[in-house]
Amino acid sequence: MLFRRVICVAAGVLFGTCATAQQIALAIDRLDGPSFSASKIAGMLRGSNPAALSLEIAEASIGNSTWRNVRIRCPELKQERDQLVCAQGLLESPAKIPLNFRYSTRNKNLDLALRPAAGEEWRLTVDAHAASRTVALVVSNGLITRLAAWWPAGWPKPNAGSVSGKLVFADERDARVSTELAFDNFGFGDDAGLHAGEKIAAVLSLQAQQRGEQWQWQSRLEWKSGDVFWQPLFVGGSGHALSLAGTLDTQRVSVERGRLVLAGIGEFDFNALHDRAAGKLASASLKSANLDVAALYEKLFKPALQGTVLADLRCDGRADIALEVKDGALAGADLVLKRVSIEDKGRRFALFGLDGSLPWHRDLLTSAKLRLAGGEVLRVPFGAFDLPLETRGMRVRMHDVQIPVLDGKLSVNDFATSGERESWRFSGGIAPISMQQMTTALGLPVMHGTLSAVIPTVSYQQSTLKVDGALLFRVFDGTIVAQNLVLEDPLGKVPRLTADVDVRNLDLDLLTRTFSFGNITGRVDAQVKALELVNWEPVHFDARIASSAGEYPRRISQAAVQNISALGGAGAASAIQRSFLRFFETFGYSALGLSCRLESGVCRMGGIENVPQGYVIVKGGGIPAINVLGYNRNVGWRELIERLKRVTEGNVIVK
């Protein structure tokens, strides 16, 4: 109000006698008003009708924005009855912007237009009456980047787009504000890249009425097109809408009724209270029913999950959700799931038919019970089971969950999170599972026997899974013990596993009948030290396999001899073909063994003992007996894998 009064006084001084004045000068050291200040103002009016007007302001500030050396020039200021007219003025700030204005010296009405570019206009009108004043700003194709200096501190800055519409302020007994603005190709962003938008077309309307010290307001945003990323959510497409109604005073902003409509996903009803003095969200609540989980993932979460294990899912089902915020933090949530399914398109994991209610509170103990119809992990399927949960804040516990896996089961005991992000632990076991079913599910050659295991404490933190103790498996009538097992990024694109493995007393008959390898009877032990797999491919290990101690039948078939020979280099197979041994189907042996130290893609091979020609893989014993030698000490890992493929497929080529 002070600024408008000063303008009126200045206009009266400068223009009230302009018909006769030859030169009038005006100097004001400083003006101050609410959210406005100006210093070192100098005005000059020369001539009569038309007159030449110049106005210079050393520094002007409105809100948080400051301009220096602002100049307004009107080379031909005409007086028409009770109006002053400038048809071809210029504003320099420092950009040069054409302007024109019409000012009434009788009723103090003003019509001011700025045209910074072709087709762009910012028009300010002031309509004064006896008891009120109406100020309107009409914009046509205004570049939004021109408003960057006025943008609130901390908000992402506009970087593209235009706006058209009207903003009206009526200064009556109770002030009124109304606006309707259409945005086209609007874009914004921040330096951190956590908030950004592009190609936004939207219509914003707002009406507000002052009632004493309080404003009552309502607004609506209609989303026509464009994309917005607001960490961690992404909103794109068209047809969305946001409507709000509430109050505003010096202490708080209240949203009493809010509704967000996300096209194809669902509707969200909410309310909120923002404490202006503290600068935080004091309270809020949100509810939504029957949300489409597939659309929610595809349109809202998927773009923000790129580069994670959840980046490419197939989803189905419905969900209800309710959230409560207190003192700027999430205080409670209720989630109801209805036949929800989540499946990784890379076949790493899947959950099918998830039903139930999951209540959660930041400070209270809550209990939930979910029912899962089935799923799979790394293509191994599991059946239906109940999932009872207890939660308090970020801590989750469950006891004695039995998960059917093929014809056996996985027992999960004392699962608990620590309250830290992505951190949990559990212990359990595996009841006997058919190796035939397991290997079929994994796409491996069919193996016989059963798999059972005792699982000590397993912990997960910061994308790393660790086994505290020894992981014991019973398979092929023997035992496999894995120690120092660490799995990094298990469901990521490049998982890494390290471990030491000790194998005892495996039944070679059960093992070799699995493959087209020939038959071997007996027992073997093995050690794999410093095993390292990257993306499930070996990159390093020191492995040795050898006959177990003890008394048991030890026979090896001619086919197995030829295949073992092919792994270490030709020799025994040629000897068989050239001698009477070719008439025997099986041979006796006293011991067998093979070693491989893998480094830099090369396998350094060895056997039971060294001989001048190479190393012994099978040492003969009984009648008839045969020795199998290996000749190649260094074999490329890929070449060794190819040899294994050939012998297990029954295509041994002896060279």
Residue 315 has a pLDDT of 95
Contact between 633 and 617 (Cβ < 8 Å): no
Count other Cβ atoms within 10 Å, centred on residue 480: 19
Residue 615 host element (H or E): strand 614-620
Averaged pLDDT for residues 339-364: 92
* 653 pLDDT more than 50: no
Residue 640 host element (H or E): helix 637-648
Averaged pLDDT for residues 389-407: 88
Residue 648 binned pLDDT confidence (cut-offs 50, 70, 90): low
Residue 647 has a pLDDT of 62
Averaged pLDDT for residues 430-455: 80
Under DSSP, the state recorded for 153 is T
Residue 576 has a pLDDT of 45
Of 503, 512, 501, which is closest to residue 447 (Cα–Cα)?
Answer: 512
Write the CA distances from 443 to 15, 494, 642, integer angstroms. 93, 20, 18
Average pLDDT for the chain: 84
Averaged pLDDT for residues 474-501: 86
- 426, two tokens: 């559990």
Contact between 132 and 147 (Cβ < 8 Å): no
Question: d(Cα 473, Cα 433) in Å, to the nearest integer?
Answer: 11
Residue 219 has a pLDDT of 96
> What residues have CB less than 8 Å from 642, skipping those under 6 apart?
none
Residue 650 has a pLDDT of 55
Residue 439 host element (H or E): helix 435-442
DSSP state letters, 592-607: EEEEEEEETTEEEEE-
Of 403, 470, 456, 465, which is closest to residue 433 (Cα–Cα)?
Answer: 403
Residue 10 binned pLDDT confidence (cut-offs 50, 70, 90): very low
More confident residue, 528 or 494: 528
Count other Cβ atoms within 10 Å, centred on residue 471: 18
Residue 75, classed as helix, strand or coil, is strand
3-state helix vs strand vs coil in the chain, percent to 5 = 10, 60, 25
Of 343, 362, 360, which is closest to residue 351 (Cα–Cα)?
Answer: 343
| Packed helices 637-648 and 558-568: angle between N→C axes, nearest 10 degrees | 160
Averaged pLDDT for residues 73-90: 89
Contact between 287 and 321 (Cβ < 8 Å): yes
* 225 pLDDT more than 90: yes
Span 105-143, pLDDT tens digits? 888 888 999 999 999 999 999 887 766 788 899 999 999
Q: Provide the residue ranges of all domains of the chain, joining segments of one domain with +.
A: 250-376+385-393, 509-648
Span 527-558, pLDDT tens digits? 999 999 998 889 999 999 999 998 888 888 87
Looking at the chain, the whole-number percentage of residues with pLDDT higher than 70 is 89
* 15 pLDDT more than 60: no
HSE value, Cβ hemisphere, 13 Å, CA-based, for 13: 13
Question: d(Cα 14, Cα 101) in Å, to the nearest integer?
Answer: 15
* 578 pLDDT more than 60: no
* 513 pLDDT more than 80: no
Averaged pLDDT for residues 63-89: 86
Look up the pTM and report it: 0.70
Residue 289 has a pLDDT of 94
More confident residue, 421 or 48: 48
- 201, two tokens: 């077309």
* 651 pLDDT more than 60: no
Residue 14 has a pLDDT of 47
* 311 pLDDT more than 70: yes
* 151 pLDDT more than 60: yes
* 573 pLDDT more than 70: no
> What residues have CB less than 8 Å from 210, skipping those under 6 apart?
174, 175, 176
Question: d(Cα 286, Cα 262) in Å, to the nearest integer?
Answer: 14
Question: d(Cα 218, Cα 259) in Å, to the nearest integer?
Answer: 12
More confident residue, 237 or 314: 314
Residue 572 has a pLDDT of 43
Say if strands 241-248 and 252-262 run parallel, antiparallel, or are unpaired: antiparallel
Residue 517 has a pLDDT of 66
Looking at the chain, the whole-number percentage of residues with pLDDT higher than 90 is 37
Residue 584 has a pLDDT of 57
Residue 121 has a pLDDT of 95
More confident residue, 287 or 363: 287
Averaged pLDDT for residues 70-78: 90
Write the CA distances from 96 to 68, 73, 89, integer angstroms. 14, 10, 10
Averaged pLDDT for residues 368-397: 90
Residue with tokens 């980046």: 311
- 47, two tokens: 């001539």
Of 106-120, 156-170, 606-620, 630-644, minimum mean pLDDT range: 630-644
